[in-house]
Structure 1
Amino acid sequence: MGNDTHLPSQVDDHLGWFDRFAGGAARFVSRATFFAMCVVLVLVWAPSYFLFGDVDTWQLVINTATTIVTFLLVALLQNSQRRADQAVQRKLNALAVALADVMAAVDRDDDASRAELRAAVGLEDRESS
């Protein structure tokens, strides 16, 4: 196996507090419970017009709430997506190195063939961190 790539099982899976939080948030917002909570929020907000009495204030409340939730969720979900992309890239790197090793063992021991294979499968020169 090549020296510049770790197998996916060899990668340290220790996550910081923000990564754990973002992963938990991504799991939560992808469930029906979160969608139901959003529906309930709209159902509670709709008749609140009579509480505010002013259309502008009434709309400002829902616009502000949804903007804040959207802003925070984009940051959390982007973190989760980045980590998922990195995990896929590590797996692809390990597969490409294994393919290059197989090619070398099957009588194609020249560096040009291995380099061509590495380029064809998109093996990165260094693993992302």
Structure 2
Amino acid sequence: MERNDAASDRHSPDGRSAFERFVEATYMQVSRAPFFVVCLVVVVAWGASAPLWPNLKEWQVAIHTVASVVSLLLLVLLENAGRRSEEASQEKLNVLAEALASLMESSAARDPELQEATRRLREAVGLEERH
């Protein structure tokens, strides 16, 4: 049976790429309170620096540019982390559905209604297409 990335990663010593490890480490840091505090400190420092800038337009452009770049990078990293998490969850659900379908098939010989339910389960999750 061919495994997808989520299942393969679980069975390898550390089958993740450097990028995947970076994404996970970043996700763990930005989802905690200290990252929010750092962001808050940056915003307060930016606000306090207004008198130091000769032109307020440049002052606004500076924070907007930095915020846009950081937001874009974090969005990409967090979407990647979310996609990997969804793939892992889907693989677990597929394994559960496959086990349930196999269990139902073993009992279906005695119950015609169970045969139909098994067929609908396999069709709904596409079990035949995966193998």
1:5-24 equivalences in 2 (<5 Å): 11-13=8-10, 14-24=15-25
Shift of the 82–89 alpha-carbon distance from structure 1 to 2, 3 Å rule, reads: same
TM-score by length of 1: 0.82
SS in 1 for 2:28: helix
**1:29 — aligned with what?**
30
Identity rate, percent: 35
Q: Deviations 1:47-68 (Å, cap 9, x if unpaired)?
A: 2111112110110011011101
TM-score by length of 2: 0.81
Deviates more, 1:12-21 or 1:75-84: 12-21
Distance 1:76 1:69 in 2: 11
Q: For 1:59, give the aligned amino acid.
A: Q
Distance of 2:58 and 2:109 partners within structure 1: 72
Once superposed, what is the RMSD of the aligned Cα atoms?
A: 2.5
CA contact (8 A) 1:5 1:93 kept: no
C-alpha distance in structure 2 between counterparts of 1:55 and 1:29, whole Å: 30
Q: Which residue of 1 aligns with 2:123?
A: 119
Partner of 1:106: 107
Structure having the higher helix fraction is: 2
Aligned to 1:68: 69
Deviating above 4 A after TM superposition, structure 1's stretches of 4 or more consecutive aligned residues are 3-6, 108-113
Query: 5+ residue gaps in structure 2?
Result: none
Contact 1:52 1:58 in 2 (8 A): yes
Cα deviation for residue 104 of structure 1 reads: 0.8
Structure 1 unaligned regions, length at least 5? none
How many residues are paired up? 122
SS in 2 for 1:12: helix
2:39 is equivalent to residue 38 of structure 1: yes
